């Protein structure tokens, strides 16, 4: 307050904002990055300012997949400023989330050109994800039903879905389908059909 009233009355949170063209932006009102546990020099104006952009960085563990890094200022203007690195999984901003009680979601009709379906997902040790492919009318496609689906569990950016240990989707490629995900204690971050 002795320096400027704003410094004594305003505190900083980080919010998430996106743009497809760099001119029009959408901002979510929920906080994305909070100042963290209270210490002597945080929870004040300028603390928790984030740098522009995200970087894909290697994990410190050579066996782990790459991650996204973002940087934020700590202890802004009150003492020597520090930059802290935060990390998150690739495509980790939003997920389909299911609690322990199984839940399901069905996509809108889509047409894909590919041979395999890959998921970026995370489950608990007791959780799982299973995948079913239906035609546009919701009719099950033989060989790709929930009963045929091999259970997926773990935490990975890229796991190929299989049905009775088979992954090849070329017989239904190019046709409109719906994908049904049945999940328990799991998050699915993205799915991708690929050749």
41-77 in b/e form (b: 16+ CB < 10 A) is ebebbbbbbbeeeeeeeeeeeeeeeebbbbebbbbbe
Q: What is the mean pLDDT of residues 31-38?
A: 84
Other CB atoms within 10 A of residue 111 CB: 11
Backbone φ, ψ for residue 145 (5° rounding) = -85, 170
User: What is the chain's length?
Assistant: 195
CATH code for the structural domain at 96-194:
2.60.290
| Contact criterion met (CB below 8 Å) for 107 and 179 | yes
Is 5 in a helix, a strand, or coil? Answer: helix
Q: What is the torsional sign of CA 149, 150, 153, 154? A: negative
Instruction: Return the percentage of the chain with pLDDT > 90, whole number.
Output: 62
Convert the pLDDT of each residue in 47-91 to its tens digit.
787 887 789 999 999 999 999 999 988 877 667 778 889 999 988
Task: Give the pLDDT of residue 35.
Answer: 82
pTM greater than 0.85 (yes/no): no
Where are the domains positioned within the chain? 5-89, 96-194
Whether the per-residue pLDDT at 185 is higher than 80: the answer is: yes
């Amino acid at each position: 307050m002795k320096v400027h009233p704003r410094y004594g009355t305003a505190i900083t949170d980080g919010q998430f904002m996106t743009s497809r063209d760099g001119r029009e932006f959408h901002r979510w009102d929920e906080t994305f990055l909070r100042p963290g546990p209270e210490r002597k020099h945080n929870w004040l104006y300028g603390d928790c300012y984030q740098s522009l952009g995200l970087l894909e960085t290697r994990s410190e563990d050579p066996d782990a997949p790459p991650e996204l890094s973002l940087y934020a200022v700590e202890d802004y203007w009150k003492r020597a400023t520090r930059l802290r690195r935060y990390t998150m999984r690739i495509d980790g901003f939003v997920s389909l989330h299911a609690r322990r009680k199984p839940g399901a979601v069905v996509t809108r009709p889509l047409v894909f050109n590919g041979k395999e379906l890959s998921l970026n997902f995370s489950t608990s040790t007791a959780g799982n994800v299973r995948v079913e492919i239906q035609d546009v009318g919701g009719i099950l496609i033989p060989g790709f039903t929930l009963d045929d689906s091999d259970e997926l569990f773990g935490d990975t950016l890229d796991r190929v879905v299989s049905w009775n240990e088979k992954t090849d989707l070329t017989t239904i490629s190019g046709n409109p389908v719906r994908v049904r995900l049945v999940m328990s204690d799991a998050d699915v971050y993205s799915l991708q059909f690929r050749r």
